[in-house]
Amino acid sequence: MPEWLEVTVRSVLFVIVLFFMTKLIGKKQIAQLSFFEYVTGITIGSIAGESIMGLDGNLSYGLIAITIVAAIPLIAGLISLKSKKFRDFTEGKGTIFIKDGKVMEDNLKKERITADELLQLLRRKDVFQVSDVEFAVLEPTGDLSVMLKKENQPLTPKDLDMKVASIKEPQTVIMDGKILDEPLATIGYSRGWLKTELEKLGVTIENVFLGQVNSYGELTVDLFDDKLQVPSPQERPMILSTMKKCQADLELFALATEDKVAKQLYTKNSKKLQNAIDKVSHILKS
């Protein structure tokens, strides 16, 4: 076999081997989450390189070495699933850098992180002022996780005592002008329903780049032809406004009528409707 052919064969072979090895070890290997994955990543790479180019060496030795090196993180991963102590040893523990808003200088020294590097790590998390931080820990992977003081954390609906409607993930039902049957079936709709909804929007399926259905069963689309205006779903705001109108009507009737019993009935029902509106408006507002 000429040497160039042998190199080609070996390269292809090792690319395939490396592909399956990495698949086997899983996503952890790609993210290089722990010490083991980091080390094996480097080692497997250099063994493969050596085996491809070392034409005089035996090919099978390279394969054996790669298998062993790949098996170690696999076994270590299985053991660390069971044992916390082993996990702490192999994957390492986080180092607390900031606690109760105060920088732990000793821990910085232990990890050999300078003040500049700490600031840099914080900036990567969009924190520019150390005093904004309540707690920060350097993860074994080298990322800094930051918990801001409560007053510096983003405002959430919970802070404002706001009611928000919980939603489920939307399903993509049209892609590149083609209907995706599986997600459509997941949310329990048929092609016929989708065609009707598209007709309501006044667009053809060929013109739709992306179409998604939200948890209220409303279809939203993005078209290839960006000049075309697509109406946004109006049903929910429409219900809300009709309810508001009826509530105002009932109040008006209560004022207009002279019959006492009727007045009472109108007032009672307008209040009831107002309560209903308050209860449901967070869902109907889009």
Partner 1 sequence: MTVVSDVKQCLASLKGVEASLSNLAKRTEDNSSKRTLHETMMEVSEIVADLKKRVGELENEEYQYKGY
Of 42, 53, 238, 255, the one binding partner 1 (CB under 8 A) is: 238
Place of tokens 């508001």: 244
**Residue 158 in tokens:** 């919970």
Is residue 269 a contact residue for partner 1 (CB under 8 A)? yes
Is residue 253 a contact residue for partner 1 (CB under 8 A)? yes
Site string for partner 1, 180-219 (x = CB under 8 A): -------x---------------------------xxx--
Site string for partner 1, 150-169 (x = CB under 8 A): ---------------xxxx-
Is residue 246 a contact residue for partner 1 (CB under 8 A)? yes
Residue span binding partner 1 (CB under 8 A) among the ranges 8-16, 90-98, 150-158, 263-271 = 263-271
Nearest 5°: phi and psi at 255?
-75, -35
For partner 1, give the closer residue by CB, 16 or 248: 248
How far apart are alpha carbons 226 and 169 in whole angstroms? 25
Closest separation in Å from C-beta 43 to partner 1: 48
Of 117, 143, 159, 235, the one binding partner 1 (CB under 8 A) is: 235
Name the H helices within 92-132. Answer: 105-110, 115-124
Beta-carbon contacts of residue 170 (< 8 Å; ≥ 6 apart)? 212, 213, 214, 215
108, 155 contact by CB (below 8 A): no
222, 203 contact by CB (below 8 A): no
Residue span binding partner 1 (CB under 8 A) among the ranges 55-63, 90-98, 198-206, 273-281 = 273-281
Is residue 115 a contact residue for partner 1 (CB under 8 A)? no
Name the H helices within the chain. Answer: 3-25, 27-31, 35-53, 59-82, 84-91, 105-110, 115-124, 181-186, 191-201, 235-256, 260-284
Chain residues that interact with partner 1, rule: CB under 8 A: 165-168, 187, 215-217, 235-236, 238-239, 242-243, 245-246, 249-250, 253, 256-257, 262, 265-266, 268-269, 272-273, 275-276, 279-280, 283
